[in-house]
Amino acid sequence: MAYLTEKKRIELEKKANEMRIALVDILEDAGSGHTAGPLGMADIFTALYFHVLEHDPANPLWEDRDRLILSNGHIVPIRYVAMAFAGYFPREELRTLRKFGSRLQGHPERTRLPALETTSGPLGEGMSQAAGIAYAARMDSKKFRTYVVLSDAEHQAGNTWEGAMFAGANKLSNLTAIIDRNNIQINGMTEDVMPLEPLREKYEAFNWHVMDVDGHNMDAFVSAVEEAKAIYERPTAIIAHTIPGKGVKEIEFDYTWHGKPPSKEEEERFLRALRTLGGKIEASHHE
């Protein structure tokens, strides 16, 4: 995909806000689920599904599609919203989130929806899965790219680093890791629980090309993805600095919102905040 035009950027920003609104709505309806991380990653999932990925919702198992692996499976509600908006399934189905028998479980299950690619829940597995897929693609001379989304806190799991070491050793330039650097986890701030810094230097030591970006800046993220395609014989890690709870000021950077949904009253406040934000995006477009 090409770099963003101003028109496309504004379109993506508006869609990301619409997706946040849908996310808050279905989380309240479900009565359980994660709020902060999915809100923080709405911009990136919008960019992925509506600009970056080579994919076809009408043919979800297209052999040459890009693979998107979600390692931190608890943020899957925002992926479900993105997939519904992209046309993988009806938007009405979003209301079945976490319901008994639903295809939209609290963590993604590979066999429930086409193109989910992997089942995730236990943290720390996605990097190894993605590295294996990228390695197999190279063996088969396939041109698709593999993207893996990881949380920052799951870097406390050793398996993540085993996968990173494998990818670096095998020079998997067809692999791009997107790290949600939001600095929170379920019981506190990452640097208080188990410090991750210096995160960039760790990846560089494993022979990765590394970029730090503002995870809410569409231009910066898309530019980083494009740069990754030009890197030869190294995998790329995009450390995306995001704000957990983005768009709802009262919960931004509040780690207690890592794993809980809004109540009905909170939903109404959150939606007002997001609709106000949407109005500002629209107004900026007409200035």
Residues 81-106 have pLDDT tens digits of 999 999 999 999 999 999 999 999 99
Place of tokens 């379109």: 11
Q: What is the mean pLDDT of residues 271-279?
A: 92
In degrees and rounded to multiples of 5, residue 180 shows phi and psi of -80, 95
Does domain 6-286 fall into CATH 3.40.50.970?
yes
- pLDDT number for residue 278: 85
Q: What is the mean pLDDT of residues 200-229?
A: 98
pTM over 0.85: yes
Q: What is the mean pLDDT of residues 194-216?
A: 98
Apex 44 CA angle, 2 and 142, nearest 5: 55
Half-sphere exposure of residue 122: CA atoms within 13 angstroms, side-chain side: 7
> What are the residue ranges spanned by the domains of the chain?
6-286
